[in-house]
Structure 1
Amino acid sequence: MDGASPGQNSAEDENANQQQPAGLEHFHKLLQDARTATSQVDRYKATLEKQVRLNGELCDPETIDIKVRHRPFAVYMKWQSDGKEALYAEGENNGKLVARPTRGLAALKGVWELQPDAPKAMVGCRYPVTEIGLEKMIERVCAYYFEEYQNEIASCDVHQEERDGRQVHIVELTFPSKDESQYSICKYYFDAESKLLYGLELCEWNYEGEPAGIAEKFVYRDIDAEQIPDDNEFRVDHPKYSLVSKR
């Protein structure tokens, strides 16, 4: 008789469930929910905490007040440390990043207009300004885990805790070697209420192939999608900005 024994189907189901560890399955669900939640946010204000490693050197942490509009894409940034400003608006300003440095020789020129991926625009950055924001972040993470990374050998821990008065799902993936991933440890932060992916911290490998320090850290805090910026706040001639050349 070809029928399965009473316990066979349940055993097969159990084996199927074991093909994807529970932690990874939970992580994928958080990513899907975050992508859906982010698609419902058109524009917002936030504070970006950023730190990256470039050419083996860990840059100083930066805290930046930002305003983001998803469509058409636009972002305004003002650094809390020195008042530096930058604005990029898709389809405006000849497609250029408009910036006003406040330190060093660059400040003497006043307002700069640069291609988003120009070397001067990329100083201290791992990504061009066109990749700033929650939507771009969730797109990169989903593209990696749903399209590029097909292995399931990472150790994945998912837990929930309170941070800054909010409940947060924290996902930590640990990879066995740099042959499996360019990062050794990846942490992702999901707000339990809004479901947004609001931060990540990726650690690299050292020259001996051992887990090392931060490669990149991006955390968006105090996200405000209610008191949203209007279109005038993505114009260089906004009266509160200093992005119009005086010459």
Structure 2
Amino acid sequence: MHSRTGAARWLLVVLLLFVFGGVAARNVVAQAPQWTEPVARVSRVPAASAATNGDVAPHALDPALRIAEASLQHIRDNIADYSAIFVKRCRVDGELPELQYAQVKIRNRKTAGGRVETPLSVYLKFLKPEAVAGREVIWVEGRNDGQMIVHETGLKGVINVYLDPHGYLAMRGQRYPITDIGIENLVVKLIETARRDRQREECTVQIYRNARIGKRACTMLEVVHPVRRPYFDFYRARVYFDNELNMPIRYESHSWPTQPGGEPVLEEEYSYLRLQTNLGLTDSDFDIANPEYQFR
């Protein structure tokens, strides 16, 4: 059932070049982010101003952390699922590909009493280029032996292929596995990174309340580590929180310039366009038996 036997099936697996997305989808245009002067400029509070009596000293990251933590709580309390056009590119082995687009449906993990009641569920359909057009992927936490199911088109679509999300084929050209996808996972990672960076100096933060992604009004947080250190993940990161949805819809990260006075180097960027929440997605939306899908 899992297509693990037979030379022909393995040949099909080897032929798969699994990449999360294609280039620009029809009628979807990734618009450049826009912003003007920030409403706040804050930098690392000098050590001399640190709190005493065991209190935690203030830090430039505190306002950004409060925004991210409030967003995470909102997502966990109020967002069951969503659909979007997922736009991404990330540098792997020194190479930065062109922007990639995919239609995505995601159902957030929900727990009760320490037990998972609704598993994190993902459906992806790639839109372009022709080489990957129509490719579909389903992954549901804790199901299908933890594997993701991939269906190609054309001759490669004779069978469904089951792949380890962390295996070589699934991770080819990827920075993160499909198990890390989703807005909630993004916010969790942002908070973890900010809390870790909060223990260090050399951090500046700016907050822009009037940024935009297309027609969506956003609050943009910009964090900069001016000096390269082994414990920092990036030189500059920007996160755009949709003001109406209270969710991040874009993240971008740059590494340090390769030469003095040079431009920062883009490492990764992710956007969720046409985001719609709480659609009432069901198990059928993440089932290969769904008649709207092309799985066999």
Normalising by structure 2, we get a TM-score of: 0.70
Q: Cα distance 1:47–1:225, how it changes in 2: closer, same or farther (>3 A)?
A: same
Q: Which residue of 2 aligns with 1:54?
A: 92
Deviation, 1:52, is 0.5
Identity of aligned residues (%): 23
Contact 1:203–1:211 (Cα < 8 Å) also in 2: no
Pick aligned residue for 1:43 from 65, 81, 84: 81
Aligned to 2:69, the other structure's residue is in SS state helix
Contact 1:204–1:215 (Cα < 8 Å) also in 2: yes
Aligned to 1:57, the other structure's residue is in SS state coil
Written as runs of structure 1 = structure 2, the 5 A alignment for 1:98-247 is 98-102=149-153, 107=156, 110-147=159-196, 149-161=198-210, 162-179=212-229, 180-205=231-256, 212-244=264-296
Give, in whole Å, the separation in 2 of the partners of 1:216 and 1:223. 20
Contact 2:61–2:198 (Cα < 8 Å) also in 1: no
User: Match of 1:34, as an amino acid?
Assistant: S
Contact 2:81–2:279 (Cα < 8 Å) also in 1: no
Deviation, 1:176, is 1.7
Aligned to 1:58, the other structure's residue is in SS state coil
Q: Cα distance 1:124–1:102, how it changes in 2: closer, same or farther (>3 A)?
A: farther
Give, in whole Å, the separation in 2 of the partners of 1:44 and 1:156. 30
Give, in whole Å, the separation in 2 of the partners of 1:235 and 1:149. 42
Q: Cα distance 1:227–1:182, how it changes in 2: closer, same or farther (>3 A)?
A: closer
User: Match of 1:219, as an amino acid?
Assistant: S
Q: Cα distance 1:67–1:16, how it changes in 2: closer, same or farther (>3 A)?
A: same
Q: Cα distance 1:118–1:109, how it changes in 2: closer, same or farther (>3 A)?
A: farther
Contact 1:87–1:97 (Cα < 8 Å) also in 2: yes
Deviation, 1:156, is 1.1
Q: Which residue of 2 aligns with 1:92?
A: 143
Give, in whole Å, the separation in 1 of the partners of 2:126 and 2:170. 15
Structure 2 regions of 5+ residues with no counterpart? 1-47, 52-56, 110-118
Deviation, 1:208, is 5.3
Contact 2:239–2:252 (Cα < 8 Å) also in 1: yes
Q: Cα distance 1:36–1:60, how it changes in 2: closer, same or farther (>3 A)?
A: same
Q: Which residue of 2 aligns with 1:80?
A: 127
Structure 1 regions of 5+ residues with no counterpart? 1-13
Q: Cα distance 1:109–1:184, how it changes in 2: closer, same or farther (>3 A)?
A: farther
Contact 1:53–1:216 (Cα < 8 Å) also in 2: yes
